[in-house]
Amino acid sequence: MTAEAVPGHVMWVPDPRKQKAADHTIEDVLSLPDGAPRVELRDGVMIVVPTPTYDHQDIAGLLWAWLRRHAPREFRASLATGVAVSVDSTFEPDVLLVDATVEQDPVRIFAYDLVEGRYEAVADAADELVLTAPFEIKLPIGDITP
């Protein structure tokens, strides 16, 4: 497998001068460009979080599902939610158990399809997501909301 550079697109990397000085803050993390990789801060040093393997993602998903079924109602399982520990330290855990306050009300689902190298919207749903590809899907939104 090879990777090709996207014309006109520069891959983001941590600033080596700031890395050496170890003076990054949560503000630096929050101001990263959209295409930047996930990072954690350890005492001001940005560390790129590696992309998880399929097996790793499966385990995290199964743990999330188990916690969602078994945790008391005052808790909620969350996937890939960043956590600020201090102004110069953050973590990107795979699964996190948080307070059950719901931040998205109402929930809307947007589905996209990759067509000729760009994403095109194929659905926008608040009650039920209905798709015919990649297979027939009729997903009641209430089934996936806390």
Give φ, ψ of 85 to 5 degrees: -95, -40
Note the pLDDT tens digit of each residue in 71-112: 998 998 999 888 898 999 999 899 998 887 786 667 888 899
Cα–Cα distance between 57 and 7 in angstroms, integer?
31
Note the pLDDT tens digit of each residue in 35-71: 888 899 998 999 998 888 999 999 999 999 999 999 9
Q: Give how far the C-alpha of residue 19 lies from the chain's centroid of Cα atoms, to the nearest Å.
A: 24
Asked whether 112 and 121 are in contact (CB, 8 A), the reply is yes
| Alpha helix positions (H), the chain | 16-21, 26-30, 54-70
Domain ranges of the chain: 16-99, 109-144
Among the CATH numbers 3.40.50.620, 3.20.20.100, 3.40.50.1970, 3.90.1570.10, which is that of 16-99? 3.90.1570.10
